[in-house]
Structure 1
């Protein structure tokens, strides 16, 4: 079995490019060193390859189901693997020391997590969601809420979810109907239904802490009326809360992560019945699921964006990691699979060559390499911006926040599209074996297909990027991105080895700025956003081209196969991929109305 991720590439990106060791000079990370970073990464690689990767197919082929007792059943190996992850302290790696965490830099924590995401996407999601949930509550929860719910999650005893979507609303959160009724004791009663809730029910932990968006009285219509609530499966006193599993959703991939339809407050678990209430029932015996308000009423969506933005970058990492695993699997296969002969070899008695010798196979491998290594660079770069937010103040912090805001939709969506394409090419490299269950690459494709939908579909992030992020603060978001990329271009222009690439990137970047202005010049938001997906894809390719330019600058004049591989992948991206942005920008500049003018009756 091929390793699911490249330790050498991670070391290059972390130490030779991003120079993450310099973070140890900051007070927050002063107790860490290159040695502690390496120890965490080595531990992650070891656990991922020994406890997560061997269970990947098992979880895929044995989907969760509901047993006769109403409990979700998963292969036992999933629970034991996650227990090893928790035992190693990795659930707590990014949290503050005051919460029992390691207080690692985000960039190291993300690199650590990538090992588990690449080894077993489904198993990794339980921890991924729990960490995001706990981070939100650590930021906005009360001290009591942190002690009651966050600490057990950091310890790995509880797990967490995010409950946003509903069957009728999907991504349109303004249309959610889940209600929250305030009680005299300060709690709320939550009633409603949530759909597509990953890790929404299981027996892997003592408790599940749901973060639920619901509408409390007086909030008005739309998203401004939304509040956020902690709704645990079990209350602090052990009472079963009225949160019911209605059904499990059966997905094409990522199967071992339970995906659920949940009812809140439908009477399935009546608190009055559970408590044996009499004439003086306890406060929590009022019908409905007991919920605890997070922060202030009607500000729930702004709080949830803390977890959503973290999750969006996490989904980008998940897509990257699965794409990376497929690339390495197809690379290993191409080296050992013999078939055919060079086109200039006419002797039919000569031995077949490994398929990696064929130009078209090398094209497919170079494409995968350029996608997954470019995407990994972007994810780690954005993780350093999170560390900048945590450890700087004033203008430096504002800069990191703004740049991260602009890059987040790209960091989520570009890997979800192009690392899926890497999985597609990995199947093609395997030929007929690629779509058989005996080989891993067909599962990688199915697992990765979900990420273009997770945490906002592709088109939603196009609308976010073009409609909000590049126009925010009077265009300051786009201006900062351009300024940051231009700094790299200036450095690269001074070196003969990278000057041509710098010029090509400068041309594409200038064109993006011009087209952005043209799109909004018409004064028609519907027209401006009609082709927002094309904008997202073009901007994403330009950003990844920047990531490759940065990597070339880090390579410099170093020699060896690893560095030559970086040069070849960068050359591929600039020759084959960056030129694709031209027709997309042409389409945007033309203010094309094809989609707007199409009558639904024609389709």
Structure 2
């Protein structure tokens, strides 16, 4: 079984030294998130992830989930015990509203815990992750009766949640969905339809499963304007608030998947199932997007988790595996060969992975702090700025982190050579598990189009202009610091490339929308590369000025990784810029029939 070390010290470094914990615990309601308490949460969370969750990872992959003749899904060995321990320890309630039994901790701590869980076992982490998303959508849009009925049970972990969007004939194009809702005259609806690819659709972990289902009320307008959102439980709550009679919600089958075998991805059939409206009629997408946006940050973290787990696995192998001799002479003269770590190309792969992982972690935490500010800051302008940033960052986080996370899992497999292709080493699981993150919650091509087509110009481009001002101010502040030059100058070049590409879209995409479509993925990755470079500059800034000799090795490592990223990764922004500014002509020139 691959070993795992949860990067608690790196997380503490980011929270305390890079971003400042005071950004969070000075917000109203978060005063209890003191440094001591945060340290305790991180330490215990890491211990829980490594000791309780990680041992189920390989088992989950090998066994998968099974659908019994009784129509109930059984999770792999160890999952139920791990879930019970997760619930008993209170992790499900960490950042939930105290009004519904939550602990009221910052969202940022929940995001960090999701990283720890996902690094230990991605498939397992999806059960609480989807429940948190469903909780968030109902918290914002459901009426008080629905909230009181469902949220305390979900916060407690006795009930879990899902979201049901995709149908056999439609994925991203939700305007085509056919699931129907028939009003019953008592405030309830009968929901009928089939949904596919439903993660955690059924399982034996919790006593009830709360499905959020998109459906079209009879007579509703066609397209997305006629979609409503409903809460449809597996079992109808009785008068005592416990699971009562079955609600005609059944599993058609468990999908046979490339990876995340430990999560039960189901075809769900709703046969005149009773449901209740969440939010307003025909405004279902607005309500569901609360869950989807949270899920997209969660999926971005999944890209990081698989990159981190795969990196650690490959690093350990490279330190032990003897193969060949160093180009500059034997480094292991007493042995028959040198370890893989001496070879430049192996180091290139490992450093590429690690420099991404640490910056991606910083970007996720930076974004989650924006979420806390957007929800809790007393100043309306500060909330607006944080909301703008979060809207702009979400497609970049989801698209860039999952694309590169998958690339890194493949790279880690390459470190193993032929042994990476053999199941017993465990390298392939990270590749198989990471692959889905590029697809679900909106395929990455859709994320790129959302970024270029909607997010850039939202509110007159207010968000992107504020970001350019922030980057410019940071670069100007540190321009005269010679020690920061190796980090600030590449960041400056990358930021200029991002600005040029943004201006090019502004000047050309309106004339020909194909230009936006042709350059959107490159733009998303250009944006992501610059943001990770910004994170490295901020980390390097702390390391440069630190005089704590007891942690010299820690800070020296940060500076070495920052230099590698700036030397090796940041120059790709120029390539991305050039590809964007070529436009769509050569891409769209070939007639469809010629393919």
> Shared fold (TM-score greater than 0.5)?
yes
The number of residue pairs the alignment matches comes to 581
Look up the match of 1:57.
58
Secondary structure of 1:528's counterpart equals helix
Look up the match of 1:429.
415
Look up the match of 1:282.
none
Question: Cα distance, 1:22 vs. partner?
Answer: 4.7
Residues in 2 aligned to 1:48 and 1:191: alpha-carbon distance in whole angstroms? 39
* Deviates most, 224-233 or 103-112: 103-112
In structure 2, do the counterparts of structure 1 residues 309 and 576 end up closer, same or farther at CA, with 3 Å as the change threshold? same
Give the 5 Å matches for 1:34-433.
34-237=35-238, 238-265=244-271, 288-345=272-329, 351=335, 352-392=337-377, 393-433=379-419
1:534 paired to 2:522: yes
Residues in 2 aligned to 1:471 and 1:140: alpha-carbon distance in whole angstroms? 27
Query: Contact conserved, 1:21 with 1:34, CA < 8 A, in 2?
Result: no
Look up the match of 1:271.
none
Query: Contact conserved, 2:501 with 2:523, CA < 8 A, in 1?
Result: no
Query: Contact conserved, 2:486 with 2:566, CA < 8 A, in 1?
Result: no
Give the 5 Å matches for 1:455-466.
455-466=441-452
Give the 5 Å matches for 1:430-445.
430-445=416-431
Secondary structure of 1:123's counterpart equals helix
* Deviates most, 98-107 or 588-597: 588-597
Encode CA deviations 1:178-204: one digit per residue, 9 max, x unaligned: 111112101111111111100011121
Query: Contact conserved, 1:527 with 1:596, CA < 8 A, in 2?
Result: no
Q: Over aligned residue pairs, what C-alpha RMSD do you find?
A: 1.7
Secondary structure of 1:538's counterpart equals helix
Question: Cα distance, 1:377 vs. partner?
Answer: 0.8
Residues in 1 aligned to 2:590 and 2:407: alpha-carbon distance in whole angstroms? 29
In structure 2, do the counterparts of structure 1 residues 343 and 152 end up closer, same or farther at CA, with 3 Å as the change threshold? same
Residues in 2 aligned to 1:305 and 1:485: alpha-carbon distance in whole angstroms? 29
* TM-score of the two chains, using structure 1 as the length reference: 0.93
Residues in 2 aligned to 1:74 and 1:38: alpha-carbon distance in whole angstroms? 32
Residues in 1 aligned to 2:435 and 2:368: alpha-carbon distance in whole angstroms? 24
* Deviates most, 29-38 or 150-159: 29-38
Query: Contact conserved, 1:372 with 1:415, CA < 8 A, in 2?
Result: no
Look up the match of 1:583.
575
1:510 paired to 2:516: no
Query: Contact conserved, 2:533 with 2:566, CA < 8 A, in 1?
Result: yes
Residues in 2 aligned to 1:135 and 1:472: alpha-carbon distance in whole angstroms? 24
Residues in 2 aligned to 1:152 and 1:466: alpha-carbon distance in whole angstroms? 40
Encode CA deviations 1:231-279: one digit per residue, 9 max, x unaligned: 11111121111212111101111111000111111xxxxxxxxxxxxxx
Residues in 1 aligned to 2:70 and 2:537: alpha-carbon distance in whole angstroms? 57
In structure 2, do the counterparts of structure 1 residues 530 and 349 end up closer, same or farther at CA, with 3 Å as the change threshold? closer
In structure 2, do the counterparts of structure 1 residues 8 and 184 end up closer, same or farther at CA, with 3 Å as the change threshold? same
In structure 2, do the counterparts of structure 1 residues 347 and 168 end up closer, same or farther at CA, with 3 Å as the change threshold? closer
**Structure 2 residues not aligned, in runs of 5+:** 239-243
Secondary structure of 1:75's counterpart equals coil
* TM-score of the two chains, using structure 2 as the length reference: 0.94
Residues in 1 aligned to 2:142 and 2:316: alpha-carbon distance in whole angstroms? 48
In structure 2, do the counterparts of structure 1 residues 77 and 495 end up closer, same or farther at CA, with 3 Å as the change threshold? same
Question: Cα distance, 1:294 vs. partner?
Answer: 0.6
Query: Contact conserved, 1:492 with 1:549, CA < 8 A, in 2?
Result: no
* Deviates most, 55-64 or 14-23: 14-23
Residues in 1 aligned to 2:450 and 2:331: alpha-carbon distance in whole angstroms? 58
Question: Cα distance, 1:316 vs. partner?
Answer: 0.6
Look up the match of 1:281.
none
* Deviates most, 482-491 or 171-180: 482-491
Question: Cα distance, 1:348 vs. partner?
Answer: 11
Query: Contact conserved, 1:372 with 1:422, CA < 8 A, in 2?
Result: no
Secondary structure of 2:112's counterpart equals helix
Match of 2:531 among 540, 543, 546: 543
Question: Cα distance, 1:290 vs. partner?
Answer: 0.7
Question: Cα distance, 1:292 vs. partner?
Answer: 0.2
